[in-house]
Structure 1
Amino acid sequence: MDDWALPGFTEMGSLGEGGFGRVVLARHDESAQVVAIKYLYARFAADPRRLAEFRHEAQILSRVSGPHIARLHQFVETPQGAAIIMEAVHGISLKEILGRQEKLEPEAALAILKGSLLGLAGAHAAGTVHRDYKPANVLVTREGQSKLVDFGIAVLAGQTGVAAGTPAYMAPEQWAGGIATPATDVYAATCVFFQCVAGHRPYEAEQTEVLRTLHEYAPIPFGEVPEPVRDLIARGMAKDAAQRPSGAAEFVTELEASARKAYGEDWERNGWHWLAKGAGVLVALSPLALLGAGTAAAPVIAGGGVAATTGGGIALGLKVTAAVAAVTAAAVGTVVVVNADGDEAPPQTTTVAAMKVDLLTRTEKLDGFDYNGKYVRISGLKDKAAEERVNKALMAPIDGWLAGFWPDSYPPQREPDGDIPHMKTEAEILRQDDKLLSVVYKRSIDSVQFGNHGGFSIRPVVIDLTKGEPIPTARLFDNVDGTADRMLMLEDMLFDAARPGDCLADAPSSPEHLPARAMSDPWSVTGDTVLQAAPTANGMTFYVYGSVLGYPRVCDPTQVTVEFRHLLHLLSPGVVNLLGGTQGQRTKVDNVGAFTITTPEKWSLLSGAPIERYLVTADQCAGGGTQPFHCAGVVFSDNSRADPATPPYEPGKPYNRSTGPRPCHSIGAPGETQGAPTLQMKELRPVGTKRAAYEEWRLTCSGGGTVTQRVWFLPKTRLVIVDEWNTPGLDKILEEAQWN
């Protein structure tokens, strides 16, 4: 049946149909957020080729993120069908704009091109080539942004493929099914830019073969565009890919230099101003804006109008979390989460988003076995080379395991029931801050070749984010690995930290000691060492192969966490620095009403007005003020209590529980007031075991400075949490909250 729908979502209207499936606007029941869902037609669910192509689109989307790309939230594959849950963008396609206005002013066309090129640059940085850049796949918002959508035929950079794409914008090498490179996308983007400023496509023909000949051999018609942009056209549409900019990021640099030279420093502002009136009217008049999402989230799907093809989005940028996925899984079966998260940047900016850490899914079938498991990937580092090194290190425990586990001398055998071995991984993020990222992979093999319970191993990964390099377990410590007496000191701490019921809590019948090189010498066939470790928020978690110490094999591995304060004399100085000195241990519990949180001892929970409580995190207060709201900290607000002077908080707007404007205390300017709000992000974030609607706002103060306001809202408890001070560690503190 082609009317299969995901439970937990209420459909609000159709956004179109295509060859693969249908696209609908839907509201997530738990969070009330609006998304676009692309369903593969149910009749294709049993077609391996169609299903693989649909899954491939989701996998490509999971690799890319950023403020100029309409994001993937979740890919769901069940026995009933498959679906891609996407961001829905409040805007309109460039195709629709050109259909109404035919030709754009050069500044306006350059502004649109810049934003979509930044989207391409994000894809290129993730090793992906879009291959189908065209007006229908560029969305323009009223806020002055352009976004790239629809990665249905994208491939990894360097791969060859069939001659796929939209003929009017295909590069010469693409016609021949040659290697796809970022320069292939640059050509298509330049063709679209030509169309924007010339009023027609660079080459036009009724027969496809004639069009191919024109793209491959005809002169570049740059004489038909304004003189200041002719060099951009000539560079971007060069027949030889080697003569074009190497990728979208390089092309953006050239574009900005040409635009400033020809149209002045305000070229981008002027371009968006020119577009604002016309494009804003088109968005407001779009029938899609009337489907019930309201002014804050009215969607547009690629292609414009109702006759959408694939891809789509929404300005809310909801991240469908693992908790939502779990609910869906309980109702419909297997759910594959491939979250891809990227911050929305303010209009007219190229600022790189802060680092994001995503839990993704990788599936593949190999020679004699298959793999389906979780892995961790980061995005948003300013240093892209470091980001690549980090992601390579995060994937290494899986890549090495899959490549080396089955040697030629021992290939995988079929199971007694005829099935093949199934390899999988679970991934858990143990610590995440601006200096350290630690992850643990639990790797298992479902196969009777390794006993009734299959094979199992564990591998932590610790990353120094200041250098973009992994830290092996041995380097977490100072002269412990290889030094017998210091290894014995650590061994005693492991025994002391074991809890009742743990393998290490009772002495083994035949006690042994950890080898002196327990952190570096491989012990198992998977390359694991006897002792592995990774930092968490409050201590170091160790994974110990207990059988080496004389415990039964069921203890392989066992897990023990030792508080940092017990380890300071054994940790390496560099790691102590990354951990923040002595770690300012969280030793105090604060009750904020609905839940309790564990905070550093120096933080103070103060009462303010009846509706607000303040968790003050610093001794100094802005402007020398003495009131709690002058001080760096977090506001906990009861939204169920309101009066004329303290109106309730409204989701979709910045937090302000007063009738006048909010002061700019967090930038040390209490005399200035906040205004000109720009929504930068909207998603779900955890508060303990629940999920809060999270919004991030950029507010311009009357003196010109800016405030970033972060808001968590829990509708059922009516609790609002507000942070304007970039409070360190707050996300982790809220994640670990204990509900009363």
Structure 2
Amino acid sequence: MDDWALPGFTEMGSLGEGGFGRVVLARHDESAQVVAIKYLYARFAADPLRLAEFRHEAHVLSRVSGPHIARLHQFVETAQGAAIIMEAVHGISLKEILGRQEKLEPEAALAILKGSLLGLAGAHAAGTVHRDYKPANVLVTREGQSKLVDFGIAVLAGQAGVAAGTPAYMAPEQWAGGIATPATDVYAATCVFFQCVAGHKPYEAEQTEVLRTLHEYAPIPFGEVPEPVRDLIARGMAKDVAQRPSGAAEFVAELESSARKAYGEDWERNGWHWLAKGAGVLVALSPLALLGAGTAAAPVVAGGAAGGVAATTGGGIAVGLKVTAALAAATAVTVGTVVVINTNGDDPPPTTTLSAMKVDLLTRTEKFDGFDYNGKYVRISGLRDKVAEQRVNKALMAPIDGWLENFWPDSYQPQREPDGDIPHMKTEAEILRQDDKLVSVVYKRSIDSVQFGNHGGFSVRPIVIDLTKGEQISTAHLFDNVDGTAARMRTLEGRILDSARPGDCFSDKPSSPEHLPATAMSERYTFDYDSIVQAAPTANGMRFYVYGSALGYPRVCDPTEVTTEYARLTDLLSPSVLNLLGLAGGGTQGKRTKEDNVGAFTITTPEKWWLLSSAPIERYLVTADQCSNGGMQPFHCAGVVFSDNSRVDAATPPYEPGKPYNRSNGPRPCHSVGAPGETQGSPILQKKDLRPVATKKAAYEEWRLTCSGGGTVTQRVWFLPKTQLVIVDEWNTPGLDKILEEARWN
């Protein structure tokens, strides 16, 4: 049920709902402290992706603090659901202010910008990039202060990610899913400032791709703002990230200098005075607004909240919510396991993180004598055993450290390139598998230098970590008595070659057939000391990196990637690895025991799921047991639609990205809420990003549709433009995200 509530708190009213969860105003029964609680919908408690996103938001909030950031008080995760308990802020959102007062005086806009930039500066100092600065995420208080809220899509500085954010304010590098830096937030904040003083967004377009082009290439429209702030706009919205202020702290310094020069020493006081008097909205609206999910300015109407809060908090929110051990214990007894983060008053944020493990993909950049390095690496956080965590991260960094330290011996120093440039060393990192027992990563290391041939130098290095021990597992130890035993190595060789796909190097016979040496997993083979055969577990099978020239194939086959299903390796894997992979006892991985070909790729599904393969345009993967006997129409049952958008007819028009999925000429029925006679309407786009499908990224949209009888349908849509495949889920199909991520292209 989605009405689950934390014991020990009395709800005072709803502050809004979204596709992810609901937010409420509540009073802590023991301390009488008024707080905002953001609940993840209970139906998502078993969804690993949604739960991880919610944990991530709490984790980010635990890292940042300051008077200009809405504080995290507590994060609770139970068997029934998860909740973030936050500071309840007296005030309204900048979005609400701009809705009532289209344009602000420059001093007022500068005052609001300064406070929220100070909040950003606090986040940047903690190594966090917000990535979604927009008017709805800036709260303005009655006391003359602005606060930054909603860190739902924040990432560590230097991290790449999907093109997440709000399109009207996204920096050019953010559109491309590039590296997130503090300067990315500076761009968004400047766009919002432009909107405040110009009365409209800097770039506007109905089509997303057009808006992207404007942000990436269109001139900065600083001529539309007052002359004294044009330099701020030009600096903050520079297309080149290197031309912007490096972060919010630097931008604040520039802002204050410009404001004093243009509007005098009293610019900030005058700005707040104008805002309170001229806008006339700070007192007229509800005294409390909540962060997140577009609910910042939602009024509190239940339970006399406004008066009660004013009486309780006086001039402002009481400092700190201190949750006692007794309350935590009572909660645990009532609802099960509890994970808690507390912050008390003005104490610094806690040094411990959420107990859930987190795997981050980060960037490292260094310059050395004669060469430089810029590449990705993987870092783990959240392990309970911090000593083991340090050991794991040292192992994850070792392939890069050793490479940089030892690649250029004293006898062979790097030389300048013919064009005068220096060699550039880099790594790409891919997380192949991560769960509570095992993490596997592969680094692909390359050197951009003609000193190693026309294509430079290249090598691979997989790293496999046993999280139960905090130790690295070598390729040889993934297998049971294979390395060093000729007969078992020959068996493994045959299964690797049999797994090759058409077009792979290994799909044809080599010109001079040879066999892998018995010690292929430990025998050094390349100038960079890679073994002939290296391996790492993935979600679907063991991925091998094989230097094909050892088998008589041409050098272009070094290395070749081949993935072999676990079912073909169970007699060769070591017992401990079988246990880590969930294959002990000869069973299959989890409950996925059947493959279904859905056209562009093959997915592995539970045995009882049923694919209707005869449909020419829309194929249904039915997940409900009661439908598998054919007694009901598949589209009436819980399931997933796989639609070929390249095929159309008069009754089946094509799917249009940016709109809810409906390949019919009439409205779509509300089957997923048990109301086939009702139709879907009033679409609201809840989320838009990129999601993995096999080895590619699909455009992902999540829509909320209101049925004619009042119910709501959440429609999730994946679209792969090159293959014209559309995947639609209206039933919150369990495990679907993971199934699509682990799919195999045909």
What TM-score, normalized to structure 1? 0.46
Per the normalisation by structure 2, the TM-score is: 0.46
